[in-house]
Amino acid sequence: MAAKTTVLVEPAQTPAELGQIRLGEVAAVAAFAAGVLLTFSVSAGLLWTDSAPPWSPAVHAAALLGVCLISYGVLVEPYRVVLRRETLRSPALKAPLRVAHISDTHVRRWSAVEESLLERLREARPDLVLMTGDYTASRFVPADFLRLLRGLAGVAPVYASLGNSEESRPVQCLPPPPGVTWLDDELVGVELGANRLRLYGVNAGNEALVRRAGLEKAPDEFGVCLYHYPDLLTELAKLPYDLVLCGHTHGGQVRLPFLGALVSMSRAGTAFARGFFRAKGKAACVSAGVGCESYGLPRLRFLCPPEVVVIDLSPADDAEAPPRP
């Protein structure tokens, strides 16, 4: 594998252009939280009444169910790292290639989350690991973060762009383990067998650079943009890349049946909070991430487990190739 890194120059964007919370999402979260608190409050109040109404068993059952679901969301799901598999064919590829997309690790200290992440990655056996920002929590152990990077690089070469968390916690200043390359508004050319890749790591908020960086890509080069925010995916068909990788949303972190994510923290909205998207030959992947940035509170996920996204890439005319295990 050959690689050459080039710095990309573009003025940083103003804070108004960064990922945002939408008013409708705030209202949805507030309504959900109010409903949960009301159920618990009414149930607790009914326990102190001498004559309970006939509908009190239903309220108590709802409150008990809520306790069970919250316990699952705190004690089980944040530690259940899963593999999500996607496929993409492109005329810019000459041979099959597997990449693993990891985002929002939010490492605090070494735990079962990091162990499970490495287990899933070894199971996937990717050719490349591509990461899209927000690597540590507000309080973290640097040695444990570097331990995770070493483990990832032990599976495949790692290329990582920077998220908004790296502005306050610049882990990119730590000496990277062998096999890990930070892309700080940088382009790296990578040759993997017959494939020629151009990986564009754009810092969170630099939207002008996202829009223009891939314009010089040759037709026989497969262009991947690593950009933390999914804000620009509403214009995916116009972006000059074959594949765009994003994170930031945590998939909503709490998702409800039939409704999906209540919040996205992105201008693109909850429709782009998690998933694989296609538009006019372009594709984008928004990862639900691995960790939880909860500012000292317990980890919480519900119907949105931490994930490693495995993307099997193949030439456009490789329709008869057997699926790779």
pLDDT in tens for each of the 325 residues of the chain?
Answer: 556 666 665 544 444 344 456 677 777 778 888 888 888 888 888 888 877 788 888 888 988 998 999 999 999 999 999 999 999 999 999 999 999 999 999 999 999 999 999 999 999 999 999 999 999 998 899 999 999 999 999 999 999 999 999 999 999 999 999 999 999 999 999 999 999 999 999 999 999 999 999 999 999 999 999 999 999 999 999 999 999 999 999 999 999 998 899 888 899 999 999 999 999 999 999 999 999 976 677 899 999 999 999 999 999 876 555 566 7
What CATH number corresponds to the domain at position 160?
A: 3.60.21.10
Same domain, 56 and 198: no
Same domain, 71 and 87: no
Half-sphere exposure of 307 (CA within 13 A, CB side): 25
The reported pTM is 0.90
Domain count, the chain: 2
Could you tell me if residue 320 is inside a domain? no
Same domain, 174 and 89: yes
Same domain, 108 and 252: yes
Query: Could you tell me the residue range of the domain that residue 160 belongs to?
Result: 2-9+83-315
Same domain, 57 and 103: no
Same domain, 140 and 88: yes
pLDDT of residue 319: 55
Same domain, 158 and 216: yes
Could you tell me if residue 323 is inside a domain? no
Same domain, 60 and 187: no
Structure tokens at 271: 């429709």
Could you tell me if residue 321 is inside a domain? no
pLDDT of residue 50: 73
Same domain, 201 and 164: yes
Could you tell me if residue 324 is inside a domain? no
Could you tell me if residue 57 is inside a domain? yes
Same domain, 190 and 302: yes
Same domain, 70 and 216: no
